[in-house]
A and B are shown apart, each in its own frame.
Chain A
Amino acid sequence: MASSSSSSSSSSSSAAALRRWELENQIAGSEEADRDLIYWYDEAANSRAQQEKPWSTDPHFFKKVKVSALALLKMVVHARSGGSIEVMGLMQGKTLGDTILVMDAFALPVEGTETRVNAQADAYEYMVDYSTTNKQVARPENVVGWYHSHPGYGCWLSGIDVSTQMLNQQFQEPFLAVVIDPTRTVSAGKVDIGAFRTYPQGYKPPDDPVSEYQTIPLNKIEDFGVHCKQYYALDITYFKSSLDSHLLDLLWNKYWVNTLSSSPILASRDYVAGQIFDLADKLEQAENQMASARYGSYMSSSQRKKEPEESQLTKITRDSSKITAEQVHGLMSQVIKDILFNSSRYHQCTADPSGPEPMVEA
């Protein structure tokens, strides 16, 4: 990404970024007609897929998820509107080979608590109503999954989530579980989302590579650890229609103000404080573990497995670096804004002829 200041280079660098992204996500045929083809609901192909059911033989059949821009926006906004309460909703779409396509999402009017399994029964009426109205407005896709939010504690499936999903995968195939963390999204400045499918009971998965590490708060880490082997994560990519991309490009003309004026430090103050508390607890725990282990190791031979304490400390180090990096990013934005808009102060102190001056004298 070149940093020259001519406006033409910005368009060429964004075009280069687009081409690179398309290459990475293997988007074949980036012409407008092809891109919009994905929006056509093919009745015949879908019913064929329903009859063949290739997913019933292979628990690891679905590997990728493609989320539409609209679905992502709706899910993130809904998750964020819940604040610190978990919210949930359903996703509509279709399957395409080993990819699940999520075209749209809608929210369900249920309060999220840990005992969410029963709440799904209440939402059925809403779902039926919503689906019938949707079919009338040219959205004939079926429900293809559910999403819910984990505000502040990461994207993974809790015990209840795993059992709900396993039930869904028995009766409502194909079904996908998506988890969004709106708090971490705002804090990190990038969307925190994960898509999962559970393995059927008793299936022993071949050791798949560990997905991207994320820090889990102490009070949830047990729940995470017990169930983390029962499901696997799918790759998520995004797509949008040609009109969407056109509009989003133009939107940037009005949007840049918001980018500049956003202050992530203010927005995620509580979350950062919570994270630091959590880190402190984890450090204490690690310290106690290490202290007890040290006395033990003098007695027994040196072949004793020392991995638990070491990896815990490395994990803590990684967590602390991540949180600090986010905080530093936020601070950088604040400093830049200060220099940009409070320049007269600097102008008086230093005789710096570059940068801020033109704005004052223009």
Chain B
Amino acid sequence: MASSSSSGITFKLHPLVIVNISDHYTRLKAQTLHSGESSSCAPPSNGGTAGSAPPAPPRVFGCVIGVQRGRTVEIFNSFELLFDSKTHTLDRAFLEKKQELYKKVFPTFYILGWYSTGSDVEEADMLIHRSLMDINENPIYVLLNPAIIHSQKDLPISIYETELHVIDGNPQLIFVKSSYNIETVEAERISVDHVAHLKPSDGGSAATQLAAHLTGIHSAIKMLNSRVRVLHQYLVAMQRGEIPLDNSLLRQVLSLLRRLPAIESEKFQDEFLMEFNDTLLMTYLAMFTNCTGTMNDVVEKFNIAYDRHSRRGGRTAFI
């Protein structure tokens, strides 16, 4: 849960950032793979091999931007940065230029930290982190692990903050991992869903749209069900004594159960039924319109078939 973040700050990550970082990495990988050994853009900075083996995929660097409101840090977007591997510093002028550009389009966002790819935090990262400290006094570091491991269940993204710890008598900054949530706006969710789950992209019939909508909800409920089952099995095992008792976990489960039912007041019932009735009314109206249309068609056809004023005169010509 979010309570494991030591500084008490909750992080919210938008999927756009994730896709951004992944795209940057893929681009760079494609460029370096195809430009051959003579490529000079972003040489692997973590001691990649040269010569016979294919070069290790280069690390990408960039900046994350977003909004910080009180204790919540929401990361909305990101952009790429230039990294000088010889001096291990970020290109400052470039950063400022990009920041200006992004400020014009998204005036409410400001720099929250930086991102990179790799499997783990490295020594050199602290230097970069420090250099960003003059823009934001507590920058965050988003690390994406681009290795595709199919058995992985969790997002390979970690967010690190820095903390001042006293090690061997010297106060030093170390990276501390924090947890985060995925936050999204409705439009973002729909487009991610669209690309990820390949929903039908055109109108289709009403039946396919209904099927698509319900399938989405069905998958979500299935996930909920599987998580609840896991909890259930865990609790049963605890009851049987197979697993040592963990009181804090039990307390959390209890608080979760206490939250059901979610809302149970008169007012909610009224509002809910009103919405229900409104929708039913809309369905009624739509059906009415449909019937009117059909009726109109019938009347028109009737008029054509039984038109008394036609030149041919009367019904007989049409039988």
Once A73-B19, A249-B196, A362-B232 are accepted as A-B contacts, the answer to whether A267 and B213 lie under 8 Å apart by CB is no
Q: How far is B172's CA from A87's CA once the two chains are assembled, in angstroms? A: 47
Closest to A140 in B: B31
Q: How far is B309's CA from A80's CA once the two chains are assembled, in angstroms? A: 57
Q: Is the CB of A250 within 8 A of B282?
A: no
- Chain A residues within an 8 Å CB radius of B31: 39-41, 138
Interface of chain A residues 113 through 157 with chain B (CB within 8 A): 126, 129-130, 133, 136-139
Closest to A299 in B: B309
Q: How far is B183's CA from A238's CA once the two chains are assembled, in angstroms? A: 23
A352 in contact (CB, < 8 A): no
- Chain A residues within an 8 Å CB radius of B286: 317, 320-321, 323-324
Shortest Cβ distance from residue A45 to the other chain B in the assembled complex, whole angstroms: 12
Q: Is the CB of A253 within 8 A of B155?
A: yes
Shortest Cβ distance from residue A170 to the other chain B in the assembled complex, whole angstroms: 28
B191 in contact (CB, < 8 A): yes
Tally of contact residues, B, Cβ under 8 A: 109
Residue-wise interface mask of B (279-319) relative to A, using a CB-CB cutoff of 8 A (1 in contact, 0 not): 10011011001101100110010011001011100000000
Q: Is the CB of B22 within 8 A of A244?
A: yes
Shortest Cβ distance from residue B132 to the other chain A in the assembled complex, whole angstroms: 17
Q: Is the CB of A343 within 8 A of B260?
A: yes
Q: Is the CB of B261 within 8 A of A343?
A: yes
Q: Is the CB of A129 within 8 A of B101?
A: yes
B154 in contact (CB, < 8 A): yes
Q: Is the CB of A334 within 8 A of B272?
A: yes
Q: Is the CB of B220 within 8 A of A256?
A: yes
B53 in contact (CB, < 8 A): no
Interface of chain A residues 194 through 242 with chain B (CB within 8 A): 212-213, 236-238, 240-242
B50 in contact (CB, < 8 A): no
A47 in contact (CB, < 8 A): no
- Chain A residues within an 8 Å CB radius of B148: 32, 242-243, 246
B25 in contact (CB, < 8 A): yes
A69 in contact (CB, < 8 A): yes
Interface of chain A residues 35 through 51 with chain B (CB within 8 A): 36-37, 39-42
Interface of chain B residues 165 through 221 with chain A (CB within 8 A): 181-182, 184-203, 206, 209-221
Shortest Cβ distance from residue A223 to the other chain B in the assembled complex, whole angstroms: 22
- Chain A residues within an 8 Å CB radius of B309: 298, 301-302
Pairs across A and B, CB under 8 Å, 30 listed: A39-B26, A42-B34, A70-B19, A70-B23, A72-B191, A73-B19, A80-B185, A129-B101, A133-B97, A133-B101, A136-B82, A138-B24, A185-B190, A247-B18, A251-B18, A251-B182, A251-B192, A251-B196, A258-B182, A259-B219, A260-B217, A264-B186, A313-B292, A324-B285, A328-B283, A332-B214, A340-B221, A342-B263, A343-B261, A344-B261
New A-B contacts (11) at CB < 8 Å, excluding given A191-B190, A328-B279, A343-B260: A1-B211, A39-B31, A42-B34, A73-B188, A247-B22, A252-B219, A255-B189, A317-B286, A324-B285, A329-B213, A331-B275
B: which residues have CB within 8 A of A?
A: 15-16, 18-20, 22-31, 33-34, 41-42, 80-82, 94, 97-98, 101, 104-106, 146, 148, 150, 152-156, 181-182, 184-203, 206, 209-226, 228, 231-232, 235, 257, 260-264, 272, 275-276, 279, 282-283, 285-286, 289-290, 292-293, 296-297, 300, 303-304, 307, 309-311
